[in-house]
Amino acid sequence: MAPDRILTADEIAKHNSRQSCWVVIDGHAYDVTDFLDQHPGGSAIILRYAGKDATEEYSPVHSPGTIEKELPKDKHLGQVDLMTFLSIRKASKSPLTNATPSGPLPIEMCVNLHDISLAAQKVLPERAWTYYASASEDLHSHRRNLHDWDRILFRPRVLKNVKHVNMHRKILGFESSLPFFIAPAAMAGLGHPDGERCLVRGAKKFNIPYFVSDGSSVSHEDLAQELEREGYGGVLFYQLYAKKKKDLTIQRIHRARQLGYKALIITVDTAVMGIREEDDRYRMRQAFERGEKYIPLCGLAPLTKDDDWVLRGVHNAALDWNDLKWVKEAWGNTGPISIKGILTTEDAKIACEMGFQSIYLSNHGGRQIDSGPSGLRALLEIRRFYPDVFDKCEVLLDGGVRRSRDILKALCLGATGVGLGRPFLYALSAYGTEGVLKVIQILSDELEISMRLLGVTSLDELRPHMVNKLDLDNSIMREIPGFKNSTSKL
Ligand code: HEM
Ligand SMILES: Cc1cc2nc3c(=O)[nH]c(=O)nc-3n(C[C@H](O)[C@H](O)[C@H](O)COP(=O)(O)O)c2cc1C
């Protein structure tokens, strides 16, 4: 079929099955029938858009040029008739077009990360806000992330001469100017056309690490180039989701190595995607408004008898600790590896004993198991039952950090570095690169002030006795089979 052919929406809509599956992306129609089983994201997700416009779902997870690279030329069917296209294409708002009449706050008026989050809520299209802000089920883990920090109190010392402070910290081998980093978060392109590029620029300007998500909207090649462009410092670490196919996972690791990513973060808390009901509701409502049947991506029943059993999401539910051996081998000696999503003493010990250089305590921003502990509670548990971890492994942590005082508390308790996820997505959505710079500047200023008020001049001086954690201690396990409670040592 000639690629200059113009197709109507009705014609495309007929090809809505596994036997004949066409999709529309950016105004062009493609025959993806033969590609379904090769699609790295699985066939189910494409079948959901069979005979329809998939642009809104497609764009944030694929870098430009993916179709040209992956689909044979003859699968490009042609352009879609614009008039009929409008009837099948959902009115997708581009970022920053649905600002309220008053718009977001001028950036100068944002004094803290809460202001930035409010600004983003004002301007973000509903789909993006829902994806970024949502967490799983009843949001217990998410709320705990936000509130646990306030249950740790400082024990500030006075009259210590704190005129000069040093905020440097080595994180996974990188000499960072600040003890925090940009946590991996997929699909920054939903919030701003420059997407993850804004985050690279921020990391560069302030010389901090950016853990780039496997699900970046901008290609990893482009991000590596962005880092190389003129600027100051920064470093990129690669966050990996193991795919269902081992060879694809290995390809990703090799690509990260070639691109010069300096550390590997393996996220292990996503055997399946958590139940993010706001996200589901949004999709259901969209389907309902279009008069379509909503096909959930979850549940244990196959979508059709030909399909794989569909677990929620595209991740590899069969992954286990043994698989991490070949992941490690594929990465070689490129740099340190951190295991992200550890929440218990038992798993911390396994990771350390397997020789991983770092564990990363995180409940994925409350988006995975609900009623799991916050990264902070996991830190307290591990301190109690496996304090050796701090001699063997670098401990990173994230979840609900919105103030530098939270970072300082985590560092007092033994963390090496602390990550922030949503604040950076909100910042780039509302203000692009400027927003990302603003977040880092606010955190840097807050940190400097909090250090002085606590009575320390260097992060190396931070010790557990500088905080009072008794309020949270009561909620930490008293016994764990096979581990000794070392409370007295704390
Ligand atoms: C039309 C042709 C398509 C092509 C050529 C294609 C190609 C690819 C490729 C190469 C990947 C690997 C990830 C990467 O690029 O870094 C991928 C992943 C993915 N694709 Fe597609 N895709 C297509 C359509 C779609 C559609 C229509 C959807 C959904 C609406 C979709 C959803 C996904 C998802 C969620 C992933 C992530 C998988 C993961 O990270 O494990 N794709 N796709
Ligand atoms: C929208 C969004 C996307 C995320 N994507 C990823 C991801 O691709 N990989 C990953 O390991 N973690 C991902 N996370 C989890 C973050 O890395 C981090 O653990 C979490 O956001 C920290 O909580 P915070 O948002 O309260 O700072 C994501 C979180 C959000 C909110």
3-state SS record for the chain:
CCCCCEECHHHHHCCECCCCEEEEECCEEEECCCCHHHCCCCHHHHHCCCCEECHHHHHHHCCCCHHHHHCCHHHEEEEECHHHHHHHCCCCCCCCCCCCCCCCCCHHHCCCHHHHHHHHHHHCCHHHHHHHHCCCCCCHHHHHHHHHHHHCEECCCCCCCCCCCECCEEECCEEECCCEEECCCCCHHHCCCCCHHHHHHHHHHHCCEEEECCCCCCCHHHHHHHHHCCCCCCEEEEEECCCCCHHHHHHHHHHHHHCCCCCEEEECCCCCCCCCHHHHHHHHHHHHHCCCCCCCCCCCCCCCCCCCCCCCCCCCCCCCCCHHHHHHHHHCCCCCEEEEEECCHHHHHHHHHCCCCEEEECCHHHCCCCCCCCHHHHHHHHHHHCCCHHHHCEEEEECCCCCHHHHHHHHHCCCCEEEECHHHHHHHHHHHHHHHHHHHHHHHHHHHHHHHHHCCCEHHHCCHHHEECHHHHCCCCCCECCECCCHHHC
Decide: residue 470, CB within 10 A, 0-12 exposed, 13-18 middle, 19+ buried: exposed
Residue closest by Cα to atom 4 of ligand 1: 67
pLDDT of 3 > 70? The answer is no
Closest-lying ligand to the alpha carbon of 406? 2
* pLDDT at 444 > cutoff 80: yes
C-alpha to C-alpha distances, 12 to 8, 19, 20, 77, nearest whole angstrom: 6, 14, 10, 10
Mean per-residue pLDDT over the chain, rounded: 90
> For 481-490, how does the pLDDT look when each residue is reduced to its tens digit (9 = 90+)?
999 999 844 4
Report CA(50)–ligand 2 centroid distance (Å).
29
As a residue count, the chain comes to 490
- 133 — pLDDT class (breaks 50, 70, 90): very high
Task: Identify the active-site residue in 241, 261, 360, 386.
Answer: 241
CA dihedral 64, 69, 70, 74 (to 10 degrees): 110
β-bridge pairing 76-80 and 28-31: antiparallel
Q: Whose CA is nearest to atom 10 of ligand 2?
A: 184
pLDDT at position 27: 87
* pLDDT tens digits, 28-61: 999 999 999 999 888 888 988 899 888 888 887 8
Q: Which two tokens stand for residue 79?
A: 């352009």
**Distance (Å) from CA 267 to ligand 1 centroid:** 19
Q: The dihedral of CA 397, 398, 400, 405: what is its sign?
A: positive
Does residue 315 have an active-site annotation?
no
* 168, 108, 401, 461 alpha-carbon torsion, rounded to 10°: 30
The whole-angstrom separation of Cα 226 and Cα 369 is 35
**Three-state secondary structure call for residue 176:** strand
CATH architecture of 6-88: Roll (3.10)
Query: String of b and e for 314-349 (b: at least 16 CB within 10 Å)?
Result: bbbeebeeebbeebbebbeebbbbbbbbbbbbbbbb
User: What is the pLDDT averaged over residues 62-68?
Assistant: 87
Domain 113-275+312-489 has CATH 3.20.20.70: yes
What pLDDT is recorded for position 298?
Answer: 56
When computed from its CA atoms, the radius of gyration of the chain, rounded to whole angstroms, is 23
Contact present, 458 and 179 (Cβ < 8 Å): no
Higher pLDDT, 358 or 92: 358
Task: Starting from the CA of residue 124, give the closest ligand.
Answer: 2
Q: CB of 48 within 8 A of CB of 295?
A: yes
What is the best residue among 22, 53, 66, 248 to mutate for testing ligand 1's pocket, by most ligand atoms within 8 Å of CB? 66
Which tokens in the block code for residue 105? 């706050």
Residue 86 has pLDDT above 70, yes or no: no
Three-state DSSP at 359 gives strand
Tell me which of 364, 398, 406, 431 is the catalytic residue: 364
Interstrand relation of 52-53 and 22-25 (parallel, antiparallel or unpaired): parallel
The domain locations on the chain are 6-88, 113-275+312-489
Per DSSP, the three-state class of 24 is strand
Could you tell me where the beta strands, DSSP code E, fall in 201-336? 209-212, 235-240, 264-267
Nearest-atom number in ligand 1 for the CA of 214 is 40
Question: Is residue 241 among the annotated active site residues?
Answer: yes
> What ipTM describes this predicted complex?
0.81
Residue 420 Cβ contacting ligand 2 at under 6 Å: yes
Do residues 217 and 196 lie in contact, with contact meaning Cβ atoms separated by under 8 Å? yes
Q: Give the model confidence (pLDDT) of 285-319 as tens digits.
A: 888 888 887 766 655 444 454 444 444 556 778 89
C-beta of 422 in contact with ligand 2 (< 6 A): yes
Taking only the tens place, the pLDDT of each residue in 150-191 is 999 999 999 999 999 999 999 999 999 999 999 999 999 999
The residue whose CA has the least distance to atom 29 of ligand 2 is 185
The SS3 assignment for 185 reads coil
pLDDT at 313: 58
Q: How far apart are CA 302 and CA 465, in angstroms?
A: 54
Residue 480 Cβ < 6 Å to ligand 1: no
- Checking if the pLDDT of 70 tops 80, the result is yes
Please tell me the distance from the alpha carbon of residue 456 to that of residue 162, in angstroms, as a whole number: 6
**What does pTM read for this prediction?**
0.83
Pocket residue to mutate for ligand 2, from 141, 187, 212, 213, most atoms within 8 A of Cβ:
213
- Cβ distance 188 to 426 under 8 Å? no
pLDDT band, residue 85 (cuts 50/70/90): low
Closest ligand to the CA of 419: 2
Burial class (CB in 10 A: 0-12, 13-18, 19+), 431: buried
Q: What is the pLDDT of residue 315?
A: 72
Half-sphere exposure in the Cβ direction for 132 (13 Å, CA): 28
The closest residue, in CA terms, to atom 30 on ligand 2 is 185
